[in-house]
């Protein structure tokens, strides 16, 4: 059977990293996203690309024809998550492709043991965790009723190039600008972080891993090793050439912000992940892929800082450019 990898959300941090990995390894890939200009700017030259909205069921179905692996790297909001999942499930079932549906640890809720294995119960009470569990139940139901072939790479928090929509990006920007950087919860609690290129490689490898319908479709991909917020900030400032300046966003502070700032309340619900060790046991993935090499923080963080510095310079230049007449 001819191989074809279809990547939805191909211009985001994870999606573009998956496209780059597939291209480097000479794998046939179709990159799908809504922004053609961004795709031309960040994806490898000559990447086959389609402009599409993953919420359009007919278009998704068409693009999935002939696929052997389909990757969900799209970020949407609210009820659109369910439409997105329905469309990708339908596309994977029709084509017989494996659906790669990356997720995180939110669905477990506060851990009963840490590090947690893939068998940890899904006991989330947070809004984001409940959403993740609902989506994964949709996948499980489709496997039970129609034989959907899927995997869930459960990733540590991502850092690296193009990761611009998280508190990690705020820390990186602060380090470059020699300002105070803030961590959530407690500075000295270990936390799982995975370099975005490692997450991408893991997703591609899992697209072809052998598994039976009875196997757990979730795979923990935690990163090279847990790291404290303090150490991550120290290494980020070091890479930026400045002495570290750090502070903490406490539960009380975020609770107060939640009254006025959208999303802050959801962060409060997840703050336990930064207050007590909430770590993943990655031994199953390591046993399946003994040659897999995670990027050390000493390599990944300087790469992240270098990319983000260029990104900030481009933004500054764009703001100073004269407006078109």
The answer to whether the beta carbons of residues 106 and 157 sit under 8 Å apart is: no
> What's the predicted TM-score (pTM) here?
0.95
- Using a 10 angstrom Cβ sphere, with 0-12 exposed, 13-18 middle and 19 or more buried, the burial of residue 186 is middle
The answer to whether the beta carbons of residues 305 and 240 sit under 8 Å apart is: yes
Banded pLDDT at 323 (limits 50, 70, 90): low
What pLDDT shows up at residue 38? 92
The answer to whether the beta carbons of residues 196 and 158 sit under 8 Å apart is: yes
CA-based nearest residue to 9, from 46, 55, 44: 55
Residue 261 has pLDDT above 70, yes or no: no
What pLDDT shows up at residue 48? 95
Average pLDDT, stretch 226-255?
Answer: 94
Phi-psi label, residue 96: left if phi above 0, alpha if psi -120 to 50, beta otherwise: left
Q: Note the pLDDT tens digit of each residue in 114-148.
A: 999 999 999 999 999 999 999 999 999 999 999 99
What pLDDT shows up at residue 289? 98
Q: Note the pLDDT tens digit of each residue in 57-97.
A: 999 999 999 999 999 999 888 889 999 999 999 999 999 99
What pLDDT shows up at residue 257? 67
Average pLDDT, stretch 176-180?
Answer: 97
Q: Note the pLDDT tens digit of each residue in 39-52.
A: 999 999 999 999 99
Average pLDDT, stretch 252-276?
Answer: 79
Average pLDDT, stretch 286-306?
Answer: 98
Average pLDDT, stretch 149-178?
Answer: 96
Average pLDDT of every residue of the chain: 94
């Amino acid at each position: 059977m001819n191989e074809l990898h279809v990547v939805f959300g191909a211009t985001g941090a994870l999606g573009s990293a998956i496209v780059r990995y597939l291209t480097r390894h000479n794998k046939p890939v179709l990159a799908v996203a809504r922004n053609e200009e961004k795709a031309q700017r960040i994806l490898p030259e000559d990447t086959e690309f389609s402009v599409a909205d993953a919420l359009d069921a007919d278009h998704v179905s068409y693009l999935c024809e002939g696929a052997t692996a389909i990757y969900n790297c799209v970020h949407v909001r609210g009820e659109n998550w369910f439409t997105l999942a329905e469309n990708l499930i339908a596309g994977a079932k029709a084509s017989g492709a494996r659906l790669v549906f990356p997720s995180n640890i939110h669905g477990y809720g506060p851990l009963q043991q840490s590090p947690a294995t893939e068998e940890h119960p899904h006991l989330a009470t947070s809004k984001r965790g409940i959403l993740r569990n609902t989506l994964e139940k949709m996948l499980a139901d489709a496997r039970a009723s129609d034989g959907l072939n899927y995997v869930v790479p459960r990733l540590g928090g991502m850092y690296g190039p193009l990761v611009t929509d998280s508190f990690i990006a705020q820390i990186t920007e602060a380090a470059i600008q020699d300002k105070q950087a803030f961590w959530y919860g407690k500075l000295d609690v270990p936390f799982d972080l995975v370099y975005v290129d490692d997450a991408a490689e893991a997703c591609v490898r899992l697209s072809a891993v052998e598994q039976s319908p009875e196997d757990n479709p979730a795979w923990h991909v935690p990163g090279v090793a847990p790291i404290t917020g303090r150490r991550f900030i120290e290494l980020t400032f070091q890479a930026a050439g400045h002495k570290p300046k750090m502070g903490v966003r406490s539960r009380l502070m975020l609770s107060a912000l939640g009254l006025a700032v959208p999303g802050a309340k959801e962060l409060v619900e997840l703050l336990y992940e930064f207050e007590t060790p909430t770590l993943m046991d990655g031994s199953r993935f390591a046993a399946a892929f003994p040659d897999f090499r995670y990027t050390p923080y000493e390599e990944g963080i300087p790469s992240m800082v270098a990319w983000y510095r260029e990104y900030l310079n481009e933004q500054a230049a764009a703001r100073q450019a004269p407006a078109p007449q």
